[in-house]
Chains A and B, each alone.
Chain A
């Protein structure tokens, strides 16, 4: 019986140490309910989507340069490359491709998923092998792997200690953001395990991105704020 009680209690204990990143700057942004952010490949602007269905391009301080609604609904994930911006709609299970040049909607692909309506797709990024990685929020957390044409080729269940609200590939690792835990996780994407946890002083964090110089951008949904953290590799021992 003692062993059983130990197992019940130990089941939720997390062994990874939690590290606090260094906050550099906080920007108020004029985007209602921002839900994800992606850094443009040239590093000169940001693409931000919002819960109420809009896509924005902003400067690196979150000032709006241009925007479109283009029939978007419940946009929760965004990824930008040289020519296109890809937006994930959580509720409708769509990935919509926009021309980066003029925000024209070019393509809509349905990724079937029967889970909870508001527990659908929250994060989209690309792995080094060119496949798309698509994350559901919770109950359960799934990582969908899609080929370049967005056909599902694998589905992997992740056992993580919270929800997933954003996913981004950076510096050879897959990084996940947990809204409920207010944490960023550096992960081993092949085994689906957390390597390191970073605790954020942010309420309701919903979007995650990294600039080329390693700065970490986190959006706060409720607060309409954008937090910029220093390169996580530069953390001193004192801050750990």
Chain B
């Protein structure tokens, strides 16, 4: 009897629909209220001799509220906050407290303009919403430690050729998520970004999984570039957290970045490839970043970047997504070693992406000396629920 009741409860939970998005409108202005809650359990197997097991834990990853509106044909706005990260005072650029606060004007014939704080148009992985991925974590070099994912600034965009192609040009503070602190750094410099995308035979949306099982093969290509030159006056520093874990997110000097990404999907199979490479030239020719090498040896710069390849399958009858991923990155090519990881993910779609159980396994194959971690394997399982 008890077993039957338990089974009935489980069925109810698994087939329960998350249809709770609400829209308010007055005939001209429409405002949609939605949100996301996600929780996971994380387990790490540690390097020999490491004792701290504080990452073996339940974590409330998301407690998001999203307000998204449109007024007429020309105005759009979005405000998205993650209460979990605000309360935790999280500085994780992959999962920040304020996620979007921008307005967009679409009334110009030549281009659309977006002003405010939000995702920078670069990197297919960064632009793909977390909720559409079977993974709990992006590739390490695309999580926001090598380059910022969000910033305050202006983005001008245009789609053309029957929406197959698009171009974005942006100007931002260059401080990334740390821009919310208020002031710029003492250099007063900005960052310039650009991205071009091409889809064939039609536009290719920022999605990892072919849940539509398209009958015609689809391809998407993206080319991205970023540039900033920041010269700090002697004795000045970047705001706390701006340089992030590896110290390369912003540097006193010049940072040029190029990226290329490619995606394809057909009949439930999908694949993504992405490569990012930054050339960083410190203002100080004797900077620690250059590891004591001479200008003749390094040209006065070092490189950071990486590439990731991912293969996915959407098994519709069982509502399952299966995915595998390999990534390699290098935070400083003048340092010994590279970071290599393999990951696997499986997701069960209770109600599409709205209610989904996701499990991810990461194995570290090797680490760069700057990134010598204290764990070798990480397993994460949890539930995301959008309302």
Q: Which residue of A lies closest to B7 (CB)?
A: A4
- For A4, give its contact among B10, B17, B214 (CB under 8 Å): B10
* Bound: A8/B25 CA distance, A: 37
- For A116, give its contact among B23, B164, B215 (CB under 8 Å): B23
| A140 contacts chain B at the CB level, 8 A cutoff | yes
Interchain CB contact under 8 A, B218 and A203: yes
* Bound: A94/B49 CA distance, A: 66
Interchain CB contact under 8 A, B72 and A73: yes
> Mask for B13-35, Cβ within 8 A of A = 1, else 0?
01101110111110110111010
Determine the chain B residues whose CB is within 8 A of the CB of A204 once the complex forms. 202
Q: Which residue of A lies closest to B18 (CB)?
A: A139
A129 CB to closest chain B CB (Å) equals 29
* Bound: A206/B17 CA distance, A: 25
| A214 contacts chain B at the CB level, 8 A cutoff | no
| B316 contacts chain A at the CB level, 8 A cutoff | yes
Q: Which residue of B lies closest to A141 (CB)?
A: B19
User: B residues 1-57 with Cβ under 8 Å of A?
Assistant: 7, 10-11, 14-15, 17-19, 21-25, 27-28, 30-32, 34
Determine the chain B residues whose CB is within 8 A of the CB of A222 once the complex forms. 162-164, 202-203
| A12 contacts chain B at the CB level, 8 A cutoff | yes
- For B15, give its contact among A11, A114, A118 (CB under 8 Å): A11
Taking residues whose C-beta sits less than 8 angstroms from the other chain, chain A's interface range is: 35 or more
Chain B interfacial positions (CB closer than 8 Å to A): 7, 10-11, 14-15, 17-19, 21-25, 27-28, 30-32, 34, 68, 70, 72-73, 162-164, 201-203, 211-212, 214-216, 218, 316-319, 354
Q: A9-B319, A91-B70 are in contact. List 15 more A-B contacts (CB 8 A).
A: A9-B317, A12-B318, A32-B163, A116-B21, A116-B32, A119-B21, A120-B23, A139-B354, A140-B17, A180-B212, A181-B212, A182-B214, A201-B216, A222-B162, A222-B164
Chain A interfacial positions (CB closer than 8 Å to B): 3-4, 7-9, 11-13, 32-33, 52-53, 73-74, 91-94, 110, 113-120, 139-140, 180-182, 199-201, 203-204, 220, 222-224
Q: List 20 A-B contacts (CB under 8 A).
A: A4-B7, A4-B11, A8-B11, A11-B15, A33-B163, A92-B28, A114-B24, A116-B23, A117-B21, A117-B23, A117-B32, A119-B21, A140-B17, A181-B212, A182-B215, A201-B215, A203-B201, A222-B162, A222-B163, A223-B162
